[in-house]
Structure 1
Amino acid sequence: MNITYNQFLISDDKSLLQLDAICGFLGRSYWADRWSRETIAKSIENSLCYGIYDGGKQIGFARVVTDYATMYWLCDVYVDETYRGTGIGKKLIESITSSDELGGLSGILGTKDAHGLYEQYGFVRIPDRFMRKFPG
């Protein structure tokens, strides 16, 4: 998938991903700031990934874990701070949730602070339903 939005490119082509940029994004996040470069690289290898690019510079990222049949987990969504407010994050979520691969599947995600964004694309809050197990 390659989608152009204003001057930006949204692509699921893994050969375009820039690991240094992604590690920088996730290092500034509240959910992945302790992940090693190796962990991030392995997560990318085993997931469907989307990059956002301004020219040749990666400015955003999202990762999806899926069975391609019933459900997907949307995670690691990040847009560089200097590009927030341009609509590119909304276009990324729209592109993912309406894609041929994922459009007909159930989606899940976790967020502390972006409920309003995801609700615009059909996600609903379900309190007290999910459980989590931490490693170790």
Structure 2
Amino acid sequence: MNALQLTSEHANDFAVITVAGELDLATRPDLSAFTRDVIDARPGTVIIDLAGVTFIDACGLSALIAVKRHAREQGTPLLLAGAPPVVLKLLRLTNLDASFTVISRSGAMSPPPGCSEAASHVQAASPLADR
């Protein structure tokens, strides 16, 4: 069993949650509880940095959907950053890529107003591949 590593950094009106390891049935409760605590603190915008995700299955995807739902209920914008190919592929196959705001190092997509500093932080801190 691979442990899921979760950390968060807070600055101004945003929080960056860094996820490393596998997102699956075993780690879903950890991701859910951790992100719920961060979102409930009302940081403004939450960015989930997925650059360290090595595996994701349907349960991991379901966890991300639940996080998105909770963020929406709290009125908190949620962005996914640095999604590796394994995550992007699953999002595309399930047509959920249109449901999530995904940002990458290339900055091809502009973050919502007020999130440019957060996006810069994630881009500088994460080994994201240009897409």
TM-score range, shorter chain: 0.3 to 0.5
User: What is the TM-score normalised by the length of structure 1?
Assistant: 0.41
More helix by share: 2
User: What is the TM-score normalised by the length of structure 2?
Assistant: 0.42
